Chains A and B, each alone.
Chain A
């Protein structure tokens, strides 16, 4: 379901945070909770319109898009609100908004342990019911492969060293003398200074956490199964005793809450809340989901697929920026063509396997 329309309206939630008072330690917590709650409420409201008044979801989303955007403009009077609370801004990443080297390695080890645990657990469960098992060497190989990827990713994010300015800031904040190596860009990669790797940024961790939580929700709970069932055949779902109306409201509320999370990261990253923030993102979100194998007809799709789709689209975009290909207009053309191409390839592929 493409209920990302209210994404932007939500972003403006952050406008309210400066009102509470500057630098207050509870500020970021309050604004995070408020942002998610606001998103959930707006989502639930739109869900009620769809479920109980039978207005098509596309229309409600489209209307919501206009209404909430307008409401945001109204609240802020069209101004850009900046800067954000310092702790809050960390959620957007940057040198300080990251795990750091040691933290990232700990994270990698935990992630690997989790992968092993998940595989062992799945195997046990299948064994209990006497289903066919994959050979041990195959499972071990897959576990090894995933762990290698995790460790590789950690090594890469750790190899990004803090910029000089941020190292200076850090030493100033703990009141110590700046080490010799950090004073020069050439030596900054050596010894003590090299331990200022970025590691995993907080937004990435948030994404991983959300992805895992959503995957569990979608595949391991009744709620998730009903989402797929309703997507596949709403009538059958209703006849199976699923309360499809309540489900619609819940799904839209969930979408709203997630849009709230996106808004938090977006505002924190830019360290400001602007009216234009997130504009067109609702369409990119749909594009990412579709490229990732989600069916617009409903009932098919995965969380990791959508993430891969988003990675492909953003990689394309930043890649073009980095190699200096064209200007904004060319980049949009390429993305648009890539979207249509990806879906066409998917259709061809699906026909083949049938």
Chain B
């Protein structure tokens, strides 16, 4: 059980974002504790990804507050988020297809040698190390990532998020492109990261994965938060009801 008595790792308070006249995210409040996995659920277009992109720095919130360890922070671009140890695995993976795995892993944070030149060999060595842990079958270190399979690309994206000692991890449908074996690998990885005290926001459509992996689930509909429930205390039917009907189950506090 996750200890939720202390200060939350992340608090998104009363966040709103509008695109033109459409309120993509409408006064949503969610929080995340260390070692916890919070699932974000909802229809396509419910505002999950948009909400999470405020935290990863891809979008700027119109109003509301972001608190990390109880302190308010300003996240204006992805660099700010990275500086706060927030790492994101995007649904689109956000890989530069023309570059190899090592270049993608270190993109924006290249290892440089004494002369200020990029140290390719060191980067490749580090990539081999982390990939050996995440996906031991991965061999294609010197080809552009567009030559890789969906699962391999996914593992590169995951490696990138994990390598830099993330404290807060955002995963936007990390298993969408994966086969059963790779999905299992991601599940195990999530358990492992959780045990290390990392907080994870998980955007996921598969209700079984949510029940299995998440501690709490926050459901959104039309940009608004329907409610947040303890996964242990509700059935998958309850959650589906929240997603489809936007109704909060009576028993959940």
Contacts and interface: CB of A to CB of B under 8 A. Distances in A.
A279 B125 CA distance: 48
A298 to B, nearest CB: 8
Nearest to A354: B147
Interface string B83-126: 00000101011111111000100011110100011100110110
A220 interface: yes
Contacts, number: 85
Contacts of A131: 121, 124-125
A242 B125 contact: no
Given A221-B116, A222-B112, A240 B94 contact: yes
9 contacts: A125-B121, A128-B121, A221-B116, A236-B92, A236-B93, A236-B96, A240-B107, A241-B78, A241-B79
A242 B98 contact: no
Contacts of B122: 129
Interface in A88-102: none
A28 to B, nearest CB: 31
A243 B96 CA distance: 15
8 nearest A-B residue pairs (beta carbon): A232-B98, A299-B98, A240-B108, A232-B96, A236-B94, A129-B125, A241-B79, A241-B108
Interface of A: 125-126, 128-131, 216, 219-222, 224-226, 228-229, 231-233, 235-243, 299-300
A126 B125 CA distance: 9
A219 B110 CA distance: 12
B58 A239 contact: yes
Given A225-B103, A233-B97, A237-B96, 15 more contacts: A126-B121, A220-B118, A224-B118, A225-B107, A231-B98, A232-B97, A233-B95, A235-B94, A236-B92, A237-B108, A239-B90, A240-B78, A241-B78, A241-B79, A241-B82
B117 A220 contact: yes
B31 interface: no
A236 B56 CA distance: 13
Contact of A228 (B56, B98, B117, B124): B98
B77 interface: yes
Given A237-B107, A241-B77, A241-B79, A232 B116 contact: no
Contacts of B103: 225, 228-229
